């Protein structure tokens, strides 16, 4: 089935609310990779709930849109995006995870990249992505590799946050205007003290130009989120809002 020709021009976004578009998606689902087996939650450390990812993709993108996960892990976002008729792009610094997903897909799509999420612009170019749904390591709470130089899970909390700010800057550049960026992250314990990574991450994203659309935590009722969040975990919806035109200076 041909990809619908309504990539995300702002005019189209404004004309029809995304929540309504999501309803339409459900009725006219065009699975692009019918042979790919869906992930079950809990098979990979800190993995996404597929149900949650599906809801996010439905709510914040349309069929044919480009969805990026720059901390791919086991590939939950990538797989769900493909299933939902989006163009999926996956990036992870760990070559073993890329190879594993390629094995499970049964082929090697050119949209899976072994790269550092701090170098997205070189890889994808500016304003090329409609939606980001991603989950960075939660600081050093779980090491995703032994010694990969780009692995953020091996950094101290301070270096981790500096790196996350770099990722935020890259995400802002690769997103199209009005595009959404969804991040799942959790607070951690660092030498006996709570390190509020969630709050600190919001601060970094704001300083790189993002606006906050919504913030969810473990208190969010299940009627709003299909999968409950753990205590200390935050789901953040950011948007790359187009800047309002400057008001002309008053002339007297
Ligand atoms: C929390 S896991 C993502 C889990 C994923 N949401 C899932 O459903 O499986 C974080 C991932 O970030 C990757 N990672 C760490 N540092 C990275 C970096 N600088 N660039 C890209 N990926 C990185 C790790 O290899 C790991 O796979």
Distance 136 CA to ligand 1 centre (A): 5
DSSP conformational letter for 177: E
Per-residue pLDDT of the chain (252 residues; tens, 9 = 90+): 333 332 233 322 333 334 433 333 332 222 223 333 444 444 577 788 999 999 999 999 999 999 999 999 999 999 999 999 999 999 999 999 999 999 998 888 899 999 999 999 999 999 999 999 999 999 999 999 999 999 999 999 999 999 999 999 999 999 999 999 999 999 998 888 889 999 999 999 999 999 999 999 999 887 888 888 988 999 999 999 977 667 777 766
Q: What per-residue confidence (pLDDT) applies to 252?
A: 64
Distance 92 CA to ligand 1 centre (A): 6
Give me the half-sphere count of Cα atoms (radius 13 Å) on the Cβ side of residue 222.
Answer: 5
Q: Which residues line ligand 1 (CB under 6 A)?
A: 44, 46-48, 70-71, 73-74, 76, 91-94, 97, 116-118, 135-137, 144, 150-153
Bridge partners, residue 37, by sequence: none
Q: What is residue 132's three-state secondary structure?
A: strand
Cα gap 68→193, rounded to integer Å: 33
Q: What per-residue confidence (pLDDT) applies to 239?
A: 97
DSSP conformational letter for 168: H
Check: CB of residue 82 under 8 Å from CB of residue 88.
yes
Q: What per-residue confidence (pLDDT) applies to 7?
A: 29
The minimum-distance atom of ligand 1 relative to the CA of 39 is: 8
Q: Kindly report the protein residue whose alpha carbon is nearest to atom 13 of ligand 1.
A: 71
Distance 200 CA to ligand 1 centre (A): 19
Q: What per-residue confidence (pLDDT) applies to 159?
A: 97
Using most ligand atoms within 8 A of CB, pick from 113, 144, 227 the residue to mutate for ligand 1: 144
Which domains are present in the chain? 10-239 (3.40.50.150)
DSSP conformational letter for 121: H
């Amino acid at each position: 089935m041909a990809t619908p020709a309504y990539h995300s021009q702002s005019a189209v976004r404004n004309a029809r609310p995304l929540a309504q578009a999501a309803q339409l998606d459900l009725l006219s689902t065009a699975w692009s990779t019918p042979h790919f087996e869906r992930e079950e939650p809990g098979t990979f450390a800190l993995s996404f709930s597929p149900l949650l990812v599906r809801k996010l993709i439905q709510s914040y993108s349309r069929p044919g849109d480009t969805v990026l996960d720059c901390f791919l892990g086991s590939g939950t976002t990538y797989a769900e995006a493909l299933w939902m008729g989006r163009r999926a792009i996956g990036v992870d610094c760990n070559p073993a995870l890329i190879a594993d997903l390629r094995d499970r897909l049964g082929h090697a799509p050119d949209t899976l990249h072994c790269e550092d999420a701090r170098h997205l612009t070189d890889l994808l170019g500016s304003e090329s992505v409609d939606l980001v749904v991603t989950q960075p390591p939660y600081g050093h709470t779980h090491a995703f590799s032994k010694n990969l130089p780009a692995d953020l899970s091996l950094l101290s909390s301070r270096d981790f946050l500096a790196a996350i700010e770099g990722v935020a800057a890259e995400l802002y550049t690769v997103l199209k205007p009005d595009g959404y960026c969804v991040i799942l992250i959790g607070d951690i314990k660092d030498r006996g003290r709570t390190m509020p990574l969630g709050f600190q991450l919001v601060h970094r994203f704001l300083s790189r130009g993002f606006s906050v659309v919504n913030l969810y935590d473990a208190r969010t009722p299940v009627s709003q989120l299909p999968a409950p969040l753990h205590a200390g975990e935050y789901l953040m919806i950011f948007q790359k809002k187009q800047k309002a035109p400057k008001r002309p200076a008053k002339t007297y």
